[in-house]
Structures are given as structure tokens and as C-alpha cells.
Amino acid sequence: MDWLHWIIYVVIILAFVLTLVMSFILIERRVVGRFQLRLGPNRVGPQGILQPVADAVKILLKEDIIPSKVDRVVHLLAPIVTFAPAVLIFAVIPFQQAGNGLFFDLKSTASMVDLDVGVLFIFAISSISVVGLVMAGWASNNKYALLGAMRTIAQMVSYEIPMVLAVLGIVLIAGSLSLADIVDKQNIPFILLQPLGFFIYFLGATAEMNRSPFDLLEAESEIVAGVNIEYSGMKFAMFFLGEYAYALAVSTITSVLFLGGAKFPWGLLPQSFIWLLVKILLVFFVILWIRSTLPRVRVDQLMGFAWKFLLPLSLINLFLVAAEGMLPSGFTWPIVALNVTLAVALVVIWANRFYRVGGAKVA
Amino acid sequence: MPDNRISLGQGILKGLALTIKHFISRPIITVQYPEERLVTSRRIRGCDLVWDSERCTACCTCAKSCPQGNIHIETKVRPDNTREAVVFEIDHGRSMFCGLCVESCPFDAIHMGRSYERATYNRDSLVIPKEKLVAQGDRQPSGYFRPQFEETLPPQSLLIYGGKSSEVKTPENPPPQSPATAAPVSEKKEPAEREKVGVK
Ligand code: SF4
Ligand code: SF4
């Protein structure tokens, strides 16, 4: 790999992440507004498309306050440590597969590096942002920040496990940890072969990026603003951007792992990065849909949900995938039907079991 | 206590269906204020008082009933032994728009206004002399304690009674507003009628 390749991809990834994060902020405000029968920001530029720019200018001009008793170095580093991993994830995302495309053909996969251990890389890197949040909570010298950070550690560590176990199912089917291989193998999107895995992964990822209904990190009514309470100006903006970059990363990973990445379903049309973009927006829309429907859960409900509901289900799912892997190939559609039925049945049965034993309640 | 109901996740699904239905089909209820306005209540006590120079007999009842002493009247006797107000000023900056002056006027000569946009850059311009107190422009009387005006005014647009779209008034298309003199004013109001207004 020559240096030109690196530079081009650094530029592409930065442009991709920054423009999409900016538009995600606007999309979120407009879409959630629409859900609440409001308009959302629509004054700056046509349909409000310049609103993120106005916000960025505002936040850049704000005073950057460093409280006197903070641990300065850690306080300054924390936003960066939170934001950077979200961008790093995109290094292994295949934007388009090798071969014929809708607009142009490619000799090799369009990703910065096609790591053989891409999935492992993603989960390793994305865990780093927890460290950033803990640094922010500790260094801020503020009880609310620390409480928010403690909650975040508990939440992220718990949800990581079912999430990774759910993705293991994908890895078993595809027989590879490389994202490009996983996309290549998806002649039908893996969401059909792995409905239960998708369910677990999606809920886990929603919790992992602190999205409503799992946004306990910044439960305004309880801990004011959580870890970013002492942050202002550009440092706060880093946290904010990090949160959206995370939402983008999760939407992208979901699209790549479960929805077939740059491929058009069943290969009806040639593959293209456009399809990846459409899928990312679709996943983000579902995240917003969930956000505007469900209220925030309590801390004990959150932990109970991860350990007593998602974790057993993900273990069952892994077992099922392994068992199905021993079947001779060629039974794709029966397996899809079986898996969808099993997923619905398991979720319903386990949810009732969970409810009976008082899983979501304070014992 | 264990609950034995079987839950199939209907609650969450119902909620998701409701929100997506709102997303797709419910009209947006935001009123984009400077461009769109809702029609106010017909009996609004707006931010101004409207005076009717024709009907006023300069009896000063309003000035006496004002808890703030906002109304400043100087009178003169005409040759036919009636009185006329030479000075009639109301300090809108001090008024709390309680409407006591309106209720006390025996001749229906002073009314609450319908306008609610009365911001100015200095306090002096809030003391309004008699030439500017009469009904003109958007200074129009409301139906507060004046049922004869209330009947002529457009009904209030309430968002809870469905979409705003049909009832929102835009500056190009204002609803008909009754000038102070347009409505027939009953010469002498029966006490019973006043009571009715209070109850209504
Ligand atoms: S509305 Fe009330 S406070 Fe205002 S001038 Fe009339 S009596 Fe005075
Ligand atoms: S009470 Fe009515 S009639 Fe008497 S001075 Fe006031 S406005 Fe004029």
C-alpha cells in the first residue's frame, strides 16, 4: 500500500464522517421534530440545511471554560479519546466491493485497510470511547460527571458482551472476520438469516452509543448532563460530535454486517456506495423512531435487560447458528423461515420469563 | 406480586405504530409566528385599550375605577352643558389590563383591544394620547365585556380542534375585524345582559 492510498482514504473518511455527522444532527432534529408534530430547525438556509453550520460557528466562538479543580491534562484529552475511535472505525468499512459497480468498477475493495480481523478491530476500537468517558467523568471533579461515568462503564461493559456474541453468529455464517468477505457472502442480507442476532445487536448497539431509551449517560432529570457537565465550547462539541459519529458508526456497521453493505438486496442492481448510504440513513431513521417512541429505562432495568435478557438470548442464538452451520448447504429459505420463527418465539418466551422472575424490577 | 399476563411485546409495537403514524400522516401543528398567526380569543384582553371619542361623555368613571390610576382625563364644559375630554391619556406601560375601566364605563366608550404586539423602544411611547387611542389599524376592540362586538368577531382558532391550516390567518389574509363603530351598540344595557356576559 503506497502513501497516496492512505492520504486519499484519510481525506475520504474525514469528509464522509464530518458531512454525515453534520447532516445526522440536522436529520435528527428535523425527523424527531416531525415525530413530535413540530417542524424542527427550518430558518437557516433552505429547509434549515445550514443550521449545523450556524451551530458550529456558535460553538467555536464560545468561551472554553476549564474549571479550576479539574485534572487538566485528562480533562483536555477526554473529548479527543471519545471522538477519535468513532472515526477510526471507518478505516475498515468497505464502502464498495471490488468488481463491477453501478457507477464505476473497482479493482479492490474500497476501504482504507481490508483487515483480516476487521470485526475484532471494530469492537476493540469502539470500546476505547468508554475510556474517554471515564476520563471525562473522573477529571471533571464533579459528582454528576462521575456518576454519569460510572453508569456508562456499567452500561457499555454489559452491552458489549451480547453485542459481540450476536456478531459472532455473523462471523460463523460468513466464515471470516473481514468485513469485505462478510459483505461478499451476503447474497441475501444476513438480517434474514440472523433475525435474532440483528435484534440483539441492534439493541446492544443502541445502548452502547447511549441512545434513547438507554441514554442514562445523560439523564438530564437525574444527573444533569452526565460526563459532559463541566465541558463547554469546542470540548463539549467534541463529545457531541463523538455521539453522532458513534451513531453513524453503528448505522454503518449494522448496514455492513446485516443489510449487505454496498450490495443491492439479491443483487438486482449492481453494487454501489449509494446503497450503503441509503442503508445507513434507513438504520439511523429506525434509531430515531425508537428514540421518539420509548421512554428512558431505569438503571436496574438497564442492567437486568443486558444480563438476564440479551445475554442468554445471544448464547442461544450462537448455539443455533453453530447447529445450523452443520446442515448441508442449499437450505437457505427453510433456514430463513425457521430462524424468523425461532427469533419471534424466543423473544416472546424469554421476555415473559424475564418478566415473571421480575427481571426488570428491583428485587 | 407476579403478573401472569402473557406479554407479546404489544405495548412497544403499539407505541412504534403510533409514532410512525404521527410521522406520516398527522399535520404539523407548529405555528410559524411572524408569518402565521392564530386568531385570538374573541374576548381577549389584549395589550391596548381602545377609546371611542364619540360615545365618551368625559364622566371619568374609568379613571376613578382604575386601580393603578393610569387614565388621565382633563375635561371642559361645552356650551350645551355637556362635557368633553380635552386630554385623555392612558399609560399602557403601567396598565395591568385588568379591564376594570372597561367594565365600569357606563357608556361603552372604552374597550379592551385585540392586539398583542405592543413592544416599543421607550416608555414614553406607551403613554397614548386621545388621538391615538381611537380604533385604527390593528387597534381594534375585542369582545371583552362587549357582547355586541363579540358576535362580529371570528372564532378563535384552537389547535386541539384539529389542524391549524384552515384557521391560521396570514398577514395577506386577515380575518374581518370589526371597527369600533361598525357594530350596533345597545344604548342602554339591561343588568340581566351584563350578568349573562359574565356567566358565558
Ligand atoms: S385595564 Fe385596569 S389597569 Fe389598565 S387602565 Fe383599565 S382599569 Fe387601569
Ligand atoms: S368611563 Fe367611559 S364615558 Fe366615562 S370618561 Fe371613561 S371612557 Fe369616557
Read off the pLDDT of residues B92-125 as tens digits, 9 standing for 90 and up.
989 999 999 999 999 999 999 988 888 889 988 8
Is the pLDDT at B168 greater than 60? The verdict is no
Per the domain annotation, does A255 fall within a domain?
yes
B102 CB under 6 A from ligand 2?
Answer: no
Per the domain annotation, does B117 fall within a domain?
yes
The set of cell numbers assigned to A249 is: 458508526
Read off the pLDDT of residues A179-225 as tens digits, 9 standing for 90 and up.
888 888 877 788 878 888 888 898 888 888 777 777 766 666 666 67
Residue listed under C-alpha cell 361645552: B78
What's residue B31's pLDDT?
A: 81
What's residue B182's pLDDT?
A: 41
Average pLDDT, chain A: 82
Per the domain annotation, does A306 fall within a domain?
no
Q: Using the 8-state DSSP alphabet, how is residue A308 labeled?
A: I
Residue A142's CB is within 10 A of a number of other CB atoms, namely 22
- Res. A1 pLDDT band, cuts 50 70 90: low
Closest CA to B72 of B55, B83, B60: B60
Domain hosting B46: range is 4-193
Domain hosting A20: range is 2-295
What's residue B172's pLDDT?
A: 45
How many angstroms away from the CA of A63 is the closest CA of chain B? 31
A311 three-state secondary structure: helix
Expressed in angstroms and rounded, the spacing between residue A146 Cα and the centre of ligand 1 is 54
Partner residue facing A293 (CB), from B4, B15, B30: B15
Task: Give per-residue burial for A25-35: e unless 16+ CB within 10 Å, then b.
Answer: bbbbbbbbbbb
What's residue B4's pLDDT?
A: 55
Which range has the worst mean pLDDT, A104-118, A158-172, A188-202, B30-44?
A104-118
What's residue A357's pLDDT?
A: 63
Q: Rounded CA gap, A297 and A304, in Å?
A: 11
Q: Rounded CA gap, B36 and B170, in Å?
A: 5
Closest CA to A9 of A109, A84, A91: A91
How many angstroms away from the CA of A278 is the closest CA of chain B? 19
Per the domain annotation, does A312 fall within a domain?
no
Q: What average pLDDT does the segment B125-132 reach?
A: 90
- Res. B65 pLDDT band, cuts 50 70 90: very high
| B residues 171-190 lying closer than 8 A (beta carbon) to A | none
Expressed in angstroms and rounded, the spacing between residue B110 Cα and the centre of ligand 2 is 7
CB of A151 closer than 8 Å to CB of A299: yes
Is the pLDDT at A37 greater than 50? The verdict is yes
A160 three-state secondary structure: helix
Q: Which residues of B touch A31 (CB under 8 A)?
A: 23
Is the pLDDT at A358 greater than 80? The verdict is no
Read off the pLDDT of residues A100-157 as tens digits, 9 standing for 90 and up.
776 777 777 777 777 888 888 888 888 888 888 888 888 888 888 888 888 888 888 8
Atom 2 (ligand 2): residue with closest C-alpha? B105
CB of A41 closer than 8 Å to CB of A26: yes
Please choose from B49, B73, B102, B107 the residue to mutate so as to test ligand 2's pocket, defined by most ligand atoms within 8 A of CB.
B107
**Phi, psi at A9, each rounded to 5°:** -70, -35
Read off the pLDDT of residues A14-27 as tens digits, 9 standing for 90 and up.
888 888 888 888 88
Per the domain annotation, does B171 fall within a domain?
yes
CATH number, position B149: 3.30.70.3270
Report, in angstroms and rounded to the nearest whole number, the Rg of chain B calculated over CA atoms. 24
A253 strand-pairing partners: none
Taking the CA atoms of residue A217, residue A218, residue A224 and residue A225 in that order, the dihedral angle to the nearest 10 degrees is 110
B49 three-state secondary structure: strand
Nearby residues of A3 by Cβ (< 8 Å), 6 or more positions away? none
Q: What ranges in chain A are assigned the alpha helix state H?
A: 3-35, 51-61, 72-88, 118-139, 143-174, 179-185, 190-193, 195-208, 220-223, 233-258, 273-291, 299-304, 311-325, 332-356
Q: Rounded CA gap, A214 and A205, in Å?
A: 10
What's residue B179's pLDDT?
A: 42
Give the largest CA-CA distance in chain B.
Answer: 93
How many angstroms away from the CA of A344 is the closest CA of chain B? 9
Count how many Cα atoms sit within 13 Å of the Cα of residue B70 in the half-sphere of its side chain: 22
Closest CA to A229 of A9, A75, A358, A115: A75
User: How many domains does chain A contain in total?
Assistant: 1
B90 three-state secondary structure: strand
Percent of chain A exceeding pLDDT 90 equals 1
Per the domain annotation, does A340 fall within a domain?
no
In the chain, the amino acid numbered A94 is: P
Partner residue facing B2 (CB), from A38, A293, A356: A356
Q: At what angle do helices A3-35 and A51-61 cross, to 10 degrees?
A: 110
A350: phi > 0 → left, psi -120 to 50 → alpha, else beta; which?
A: alpha
Per the domain annotation, does A47 fall within a domain?
yes
Read off the pLDDT of residues A255-269 as tens digits, 9 standing for 90 and up.
888 888 777 777 777
In the chain, the amino acid numbered A222 is: E
Expressed in angstroms and rounded, the spacing between residue A49 Cα and the centre of ligand 1 is 47
Q: How far is CA A41 from the centre of its chain?
A: 25
What's residue B6's pLDDT?
A: 60
- Res. B178 pLDDT band, cuts 50 70 90: very low
Per the domain annotation, does A12 fall within a domain?
yes
In the chain, the amino acid numbered B167 is: E
Is A277 touching B (CB cutoff 8 A)? no
- Res. A309 pLDDT band, cuts 50 70 90: confident
∠ CA A22-A26-A27, rounded to 5°: 110
B145: phi > 0 → left, psi -120 to 50 → alpha, else beta; which?
A: left
Q: Which residues of B touch A356 (CB under 8 A)?
A: 2-4
Partner residue facing B23 (CB), from A35, A39, A294: A35
Residue B84's CB is within 10 A of a number of other CB atoms, namely 13
B50 CB under 6 A from ligand 1?
Answer: no
B85 strand-pairing partners: B75
**Phi, psi at A175, each rounded to 5°:** 70, 25
Residue listed under C-alpha cell 471490488: A98
Q: Rounded CA gap, A166 and A177, in Å?
A: 13
Per the domain annotation, does B17 fall within a domain?
yes
Per the domain annotation, does A353 fall within a domain?
no
Task: Give per-residue burial for A166-200: e unless 16+ CB within 10 Å, then b.
Answer: bbbbbbebbebbbbbbbbbebebbbbbbbbbbbbb
The set of cell numbers assigned to A199 is: 435484534
What's residue A45's pLDDT?
A: 78
Per the domain annotation, does B187 fall within a domain?
yes
Is the pLDDT at A318 greater than 80? The verdict is yes
Q: Rounded CA gap, B49 and B109, in Å?
A: 11
Closest CA to A182 of A190, A328, A323: A190
Per the domain annotation, does A122 fall within a domain?
yes
Q: What average pLDDT does the segment B142-166 reach?
A: 76
User: How many domains does chain B contain in total?
Assistant: 1
Per the domain annotation, does B198 fall within a domain?
no
Partner residue facing A37 (CB), from B12, B20, B22: B22
CB of A126 closer than 8 Å to CB of A89: yes
Which range has the worst mean pLDDT, A1-10, A41-50, B186-195?
B186-195
In the chain, the amino acid numbered A74 is: V
Q: Rounded CA gap, B160 and B180, in Å?
A: 31
CB of A264 closer than 8 Å to CB of A277: no
Is the pLDDT at A348 greater than 70? The verdict is yes
Q: What average pLDDT does the segment B52-66 reach?
A: 91
